[in-house]
Amino acid sequence: MTAFGNRSMAEVKANLARYENMIVERRAQGLDTYIVPDRALGWRMQPGVRHPRWPYSTNSDGNRSSWPESFGEGDAVREVAIFGNSHVHGDESPDDETWVYQTQVRLGPDWRIHNLGVSAFATDQAVLRFQEFASQRRLDMAVLAITTTEIYRNLNQCRAFIAEDREIPLFKPRFTLAGRKLRLHELPTLGGRPLEAELDDPLVRRELRRNDAFYPRLTTQAIDVARRLHVPLPDIYRRLFPKALEMTIALCRHFLHLCNEHGVRPAIMILPVFWGGFPAGREFDAIARAFAGEVPLFDARDAFTPERLNNPREVLHHRANHYTGLSGGWVADHIAEGLRAAMESHRGGC
């Protein structure tokens, strides 16, 4: 079996074909398509739909539902948007058990907390989504949440190269870094044809080979075989860690720059996962050092005390390692307190 993050081209094409068939079947059954491909972001959620398999719903902006119906749209005086991946979106939890929804409840109707998390997003997609959303509505603060898994996605353009994903084996844009300058590479695909057919196009494959660190190369496959034979070689994630961390910090800096352009106060959130294949690691310390004293830094590692981490697995996380309603509540307590303090500090400095 191919290692996670090191897949063959045949496996990738099979994953894409299964996805295409699944979408056809869902549409034939009249089911909502919760996530759809998107030229600007790679994929996005559709407005006003429910997921066909999970208890997720979206609002009119195409974001995860994140406040009670009793909180009227005109009530809020502070607008905060939180950007990130499935751990922001709240995968595996109903709308009202996500930590973003719980944060909204703790802060009350004077606040509006927008959940702009999207399953399988990378930091680059979250930053692009901020740029789009901030041009559409006024925000007081934008929070960019970082998890361990996503730093590698910032080097990737085809999610199916990283994992066999039933719901989102799609293509995405990414940035590359030349010195301190970021360059955006838009979707390498042409569109208008089956996803697996994109990989038969020499131009598409050339762009992916250039810009996707997880492109199925023979050398990478050979290293994987050698590792299975107990040759002491580092896996692809250890080899890519320095580059992935550098890119993630550069994207965070780009986010701060964009916030300044839009007149939005930025914050960075460290969102840890202490279990599964990618437990929280040293990259968080590097990110915290890079931005210490520069912007509000909400370090949710502080919410997971040793006593809490001794709870049974089912208390801490769902099957695919996302927060439960209880552990998400710990995160909500932490971020609600941090947001209050950040807003008071900002108001006091005006």
Q: Quote the mean pLDDT of the chain.
A: 92
Q: Report helix, strand and coil shares of the chain as percent, to nearest 5.
A: 45, 15, 40
User: What pLDDT is attached to residue 151?
Assistant: 96
Q: How confident is the model at residue 1 (pLDDT cuts 50, 70, 90)?
A: very low
Cβ 19 vs Cβ 195: under 8 Å: yes
Is the entire prediction scored with pTM above 0.75?
yes
pLDDT in tens, 305-334: 999 999 999 999 999 999 999 999 999 999
Does residue 234 register a pLDDT over 80? Answer: no
The residue-averaged pLDDT of 146-170 equals 95
Look at 26-30, 84-88, 219-223, 256-260 and tell me which has the smallest mean pLDDT. Answer: 219-223
DSSP for 94-161, written as a single string = -GGGSHHHHHHHHH-TTEEEEEEE-TT--HHHHHHHHHHHHTTS--SEEEEEE-TTHHHHTT-SBHHH
> What are the pLDDT digits (tens) for 201-218?
999 999 999 999 999 976
Q: For 92-120, how does the pLDDT look when each residue is reduced to its tens digit (9 = 90+)?
A: 999 999 999 999 999 999 999 999 999 99
**Cα distance between residue 70 and residue 4, in whole Å:** 44
Q: Are 211 and 174 in contact (CB under 8 A)?
A: yes
**Could you report the per-residue pLDDT of 12-63, keeping only the tens digit for each?**
999 999 999 999 999 999 999 999 999 999 999 999 999 999 999 999 999 9
CB atoms within 10 A of CB 124: 28
Statement: residue 350 has pLDDT above 70: no
Report the pLDDT value the prediction gives residue 227, as an integer from 0 to 100: 66
For the stretch 188-204, pLDDT in tens is: 998 889 999 999 999 99
